[in-house]
Amino acid sequence: MVGCIYKVISKLMVRRIRSVIPGLVRETQSAFVKGQKIHDEALIACETVHWMIGEAVRNKRILPLLIGKVNIELSHLQFAEDTILFYPPKEETIRNYTRLLGCFEMMSRLTINFDKSSLIPINCKQQWSYNMYNLLGCKEASLPVRYIGISLEANPRLAVAEKLISLQRRFLWSKEEGRKGLALVKWELVEAPKKMGGLETLPTRGSRWRDICQLQIRDSNVRNKMIAGLSMEVGDGRRTRFWEDVWLQSGSLKMSFPRLFSVSNKKGYVIGNCEFWDGLEWIWNFQWRRELYQWELELVDQLHETLRPIKLAHDKHDRVVWKFDKEGMVSMAI
């Protein structure tokens, strides 16, 4: 009976309000209106942004990012109400993006929340990135990042390949005492086969990482030492995976603590996302799929003891180093 009374009262209120509600709801409102869906406005906004960016690219006001050997043009991707913008490190393109988004705000009377937006530079100079953060008014971020539970990151193998090529260039062109020298020929010629006048530093077939993997090193000890010699030097912890990468002398934490890795909820996370600042010090923040047994808690204590001397440097990035040299560089004697 009590439930019936509430239903009668609600019906009476609905009938009374129905006659005055058209004067209370604006024509531009789309949510909670009969005959309209709450996501209609979001779809219209996304389609408008998609059209505006497309026109700007066609008119060459915005330069898209060129992907792959066939130079596929990529300017933006959209999923639900989220939009990812891709562009080369050209300040004029970024300024045109800000003008385009400003026009969208004026036309739609919607406001873009740049406080919740992030700029993720890849292989860009730090000063340029800092200027773009100030220009856009958005947050600073770096790969890998997590989006709807999926880890988005750059290819770590490519980073290793680029590091090895950098070492090769330094070996060929550097002057005495490690000073930078002048490159005498293009690096493409150095990589070219010997029959074409190059040094054939790497085979030309396939990607650079596959070429590195296919180098014929007959001595297994030398090959294993080369693989073991690459390590991550941790700075801000934004490019090194906590469990999977080798950033400690003892090896990867995945191999040192396989039981904890199997029950971790932070597989694939970078080091910077596995700690937080409590106002006094950095605290390691682990998340587990279930409650740990007593003997597993003892493993957690061992893990904390292993991480005790680790201090992140938030003013520099992580980098790949050659750990058999005190300066992180390959040295040779001929």
- The DSSP code sequence of 261-291 is HHTBS-TT-BGGGGEEE-SSSEEE---BSSP
Among residues 141, 172, 200, which one ends one of the domains? 141
pTM beyond 0.75: the answer is no
Contact between 75 and 64 (Cβ < 8 Å): yes
- Asked if 98 and 163 sit in the same domain, the reply is no
For 38-48, the pLDDT digits (tens) are: 677 778 888 88
For 142-186, the pLDDT digits (tens) are: 777 777 666 676 665 555 566 667 777 777 777 666 567 776 677
Question: Would the pLDDT of 209 be above 60?
Answer: no
Note the pLDDT of residue 27.
Answer: 65
- Asked if 81 and 57 sit in the same domain, the reply is yes
Domain presence at residue 148: no
Least confident of 124-138, 167-181, 310-324: 167-181
CB atoms under 10 Å from CB of 152, counted, come to: 11
CB atoms under 10 Å from CB of 291, counted, come to: 8
Domain presence at residue 222: no
**What is the band of 330 on the pLDDT scale with cuts at 50, 70, 90?**
very low
Contact between 115 and 241 (Cβ < 8 Å): no
> Which DSSP symbol is given to 241?
B
**What is the band of 257 on the pLDDT scale with cuts at 50, 70, 90?**
very high
Domain presence at residue 327: no
Q: What is the three-class DSSP state of 158?
A: helix
- Amino acid (1-letter code) at residue 165: I
Query: How many domains is the chain partitioned into structurally?
Result: 3
If you average pLDDT over every residue of the chain, what do you get? 76
| Whole-angstrom Cα Rg for the chain | 28
Which alpha helices (H) appear in the chain, and where do they start and end? 2-18, 21-24, 40-58, 91-108, 126-136, 156-173, 187-191, 208-213, 220-229, 253-256, 258-262, 294-307
Least confident of 29-43, 78-92, 229-243, 319-333: 319-333
Domain of 179, in residue numbers: 156-216
**What is the band of 238 on the pLDDT scale with cuts at 50, 70, 90?**
confident
How far apart CA 214 and CA 209 sit, in angstroms, is 9
How far apart CA 201 and CA 123 sit, in angstroms, is 23
- Asked if 48 and 134 sit in the same domain, the reply is yes
How far apart CA 104 and CA 88 sit, in angstroms, is 22
- Asked if 249 and 180 sit in the same domain, the reply is no
- Asked if 101 and 173 sit in the same domain, the reply is no
- Asked if 262 and 180 sit in the same domain, the reply is no
- Asked if 59 and 124 sit in the same domain, the reply is yes
Contact between 131 and 154 (Cβ < 8 Å): no
Half-sphere exposure of 63 (CA within 13 A, CB side): 13
User: If you average pLDDT over residues 286-310, what whole number do you get?
Assistant: 87
What are the C-alpha distances in Å from 159 to residues 165, 168, 208, 240, 305?
10, 14, 10, 12, 30
User: If you average pLDDT over residues 195-217, what whole number do you get?
Assistant: 53
